Amino acid sequence: MTTSTLTAQKVEISAAILYDLLSGAAVAADSSKNATSQLGAVYLMAEDNKLKAAASDRYRLAAGTVELEAGELSASCLTLHDVKRVLAMLKPYLKISGGTAKVEKDGHTLTFSVGGDSSIVAHSLDYGFLPYENMINDNFAPVSSLALNISLLASLDKIPHDATKPVTMGFTADNKPIQFRMAHDSINWQVLLMPMRTK
């Protein structure tokens, strides 16, 4: 009998928060018919008592972070198909107080479960997410004008956030990503949108 050489890992989190985290990150994933596996995915990991989910289609990036009491999860790359399966499982539990979801990983296999009677098994693809932290910048500067893809801008409204609070939109330079900060009770969102070229 053989065993996995990777240590089994587990994270527990509110089902509603996990739903918002995955669905929000998925907004920025490439859902087009010709999407590459690397861009048509959501990346999930937990370390230092923080659970992070992120995705990017090169034009948008959505990265959310949630504080955890404990748990760890090595970096995992989930297809949009699997993310949609997990979201469908979580949806009935969104309004149930105390509904807790578990994410367990053994090797490259992840098991998402909630309520003790629902579970989804997914397999992490062998891709790593781009190091986006150096693109996050709150040192805003005046920009005279820029061009935007209005459809991509409108799509950011699908990221779960508190619609009663303002969304901060900051500019750092003409050709640099536009920085969006959205309010959420539990998730720290860092969202980027690339301006369009006009020449």
Tell me what percent of the residues of the chain surpass a pLDDT of 90. 74
Long-range contacts of 147-151 (CB under 8 A, 24+ apart): 147/195, 147/196, 147/197, 147/198, 148/178, 148/193, 148/195, 148/196, 149/59, 149/196
CATH number for the domain that contains residue 70: 3.10.150.10
Q: What is the pLDDT of residue 74?
A: 95
Alpha helices by DSSP H, the chain = 15-26, 80-90, 150-155
Residue 3 lies in a domain: no
Q: Tell me whether residue 169 is in a domain.
A: yes
pTM (predicted TM-score): 0.91
Residue 79 has pLDDT above 70, yes or no: yes
Q: Is residue 161 part of a domain?
A: yes
Q: What is the percentage of the chain residues whose pLDDT exceeds 70?
A: 96
Q: Residue 133: exposed, middle, or buried by beta-carbon count in 10 A (0-12, 13-18, 19+)?
A: exposed
Locate all alpha helices (DSSP H) within 53-164, ordered by sequence.
80-90, 150-155
From CA 126, how far away is CA 106, in angstroms rounded? 14
Strand arrangement of the beta sheet that strand 50-56 belongs to? 73-79, 41-47, 50-56, 60-67, 187-193, 178-181, 168-170
**Exposure b/e, 39-56, CB count within 10 A at least 16 = b:** bbbbbbbbeeeebbbbbb
pLDDT band at 7 (very low <50, low <70, confident <90, very high): low
Q: How confident is the model at residue 22, as a pLDDT?
A: 98
Q: What phi and psi values does residue 157 have, to the nearest 5 degrees?
A: -65, -15
Q: Tell me how far apart the alpha carbons of residues 194 and 196 are, in angstroms, rounded to a whole number.
A: 7
pLDDT for 181 equals 96
pLDDT at 16 over 80: yes
Q: How confident is the model at residue 198 (pLDDT cuts 50, 70, 90)?
A: confident
pLDDT at 5: 40
Range of the domain at 76: 9-128+138-193
Domain assignment of residue 133, yes or no: no
Q: What is the pLDDT of residues 24-35, one digit of tens each?
A: 999 999 999 899
What is the pLDDT confidence band of residue 2, given thresholds at 50, 70 and 90?
very low
**142 vs 109, higher pLDDT:** 109
Dihedral sign for Cα 91, 93, 98, 100, please.
negative
Q: Is residue 4 part of a domain?
A: no
Structurally, the chain folds into a number of domains equal to 1
Q: What is the pLDDT of residues 156-179, one digit of tens each?
A: 999 999 999 999 999 988 889 999
Cα angle, residue 96 at apex, residues 94 and 99 outer, rounded to 5°: 85
Residues 31-48 have pLDDT tens digits of 998 999 999 999 999 999
**Tens digits of residue pLDDT in 110-167:** 999 997 778 999 999 999 988 888 889 888 888 888 899 999 999 999 999 999 999 9
Residues in a beta bridge with 45:
52
Of 21, 38, 169, 39, the residue nearest 103 (C-alpha): 21
Decide if 165 is inside a domain: yes
Residue 199 falls inside a structural domain: no
